[in-house]
Amino acid sequence: MNGTALRTLSEAAPLDLVSDFPAIPTGWAYLDTAATAQKPAQVIDAITRAYAETYATVHRGVYQRSADMTLAYEAARRRVAGFIGGQPEEVVFVRGATEAINLVAECWAGTQLKAGDRILLSTLEHHSNIVPWQLVAERIGAHIDVVPLTADHRIDLDAMAAMLTEQHKLVALAHVSNVLGSVLDARRAADLAHRQGAKLLLDGCQAVPRMAVDVAAIGADFYAFSGHKLYGPTGIGVLWGRTELLDAMPPYQGGGSMIDRVTFARTTYAPPPARFEAGTPHIVGALGLAAAIDYVEGIGLDRIHAHETALVREAREALKQINSVRLFGPEDSAGIVSFAVEGVHPHDIGTILDEGNVAIRAGHHCAQPLMDALGVPATARASFGVYNGPADIEALARGIERVTRIFG
């Protein structure tokens, strides 16, 4: 069912939404949603309409169309804030989660931390939640500690509780692992961090597309996610931060929009979030992100999570029937199944599956320390979205069986 109208679907009915996605042809099993989600017609239509009918700059023009686009852009900010349980003034539009985390590393950690302070990460973090902290730690003389995983590949919060000290000023963790699909007990992580006076940043890239997120209920201090994994456009992402933290942070970049007054002697800056949005923003990206939020909320995040959990269960059960397959991650992973086939490189798995119109990710998934911990150079990863169904699981299983036949 295409169009902009939101659905009123039965909670019990399985999702059958592939027709909403014009880039998914019949017979193609797209199982790489953790890398980037396909876009529904509703989002594509919103982007097209913005460029073709209503486009203008924001925050500058005094003419009516610019004023209207400014209202739409700020409405998108309010839409995002409501989606994650925050306030509009706490939402900063960025290019993606990578920029959001780098912004916090530069403007909060880079100004608040000192030599000898400690940052706590986990073994399963994406490179974008490792490298920014290494850069700032090297510059100021801080130290990084790493929380291990449990036997079923979750962040070990008991170990985290034992590791945390008053020297730890920041904890940065993935809400959902992009490799394993393991879900963090975010509320407990926040409580543990705050007990020692540390701030908590969550990488929500894999969480917001598949489960309801309430940053206030979690107790996070910063939350980052990308639009393109949430069925929205590329080039737009979100940093949510507590008001008092954003207020205390200096600008990330200098230029238009983030200023209060400029003289050659001194410049003063706008309050957040404008302080962190230098230059002309990705106006249409923000509108596309708002349309994507409308889309997923029209389906229901709880329903999406249940749908993807069922697909994970089916996929893991099907792959368990193949003797040479090794599965990673917990049984109840959120929308993601990583695996290896004995004696076969994941790139070969991906190539053979592609010959059968099955698209997966193969590689280290920007998580090389996790690969080292798992004892493998890479994994194959199937990840699901609202457009997937049992036929895609069957195609995946057939493809893996073909892999085992080819490689003996």
Where in the sequence numbering do the catalytic residues fall? 366
| Token pair belonging to 11 | 């909670």
| Token pair belonging to 176 | 């959902």
The rounded distance, in Å, linking the Cα atoms of 367 and 336 is 15
DSSP per residue, 182-195: PBP-HHHHHHHHHH
Burial code of 217-248, b = ≥16 C-beta within 10 A, e = fewer?
ebbbbbbbbbbbbbbbbbebbbbbbbeebbee
How many residues in total does the chain contain? 408
Q: Could you tell me if 334 and 210 are in contact, meaning their C-beta atoms sit under 8 angstroms apart?
A: yes
Q: Could you tell me if 46 and 287 are in contact, meaning their C-beta atoms sit under 8 angstroms apart?
A: yes
Q: Could you tell me if 370 and 179 are in contact, meaning their C-beta atoms sit under 8 angstroms apart?
A: yes
- Any idea of the CA torsion for 262, 57, 233, 121, to the nearest 10 degrees? 10
Which three-class secondary structure state does DSSP give residue 285?
helix
Q: Could you tell me if 125 and 369 are in contact, meaning their C-beta atoms sit under 8 angstroms apart?
A: yes
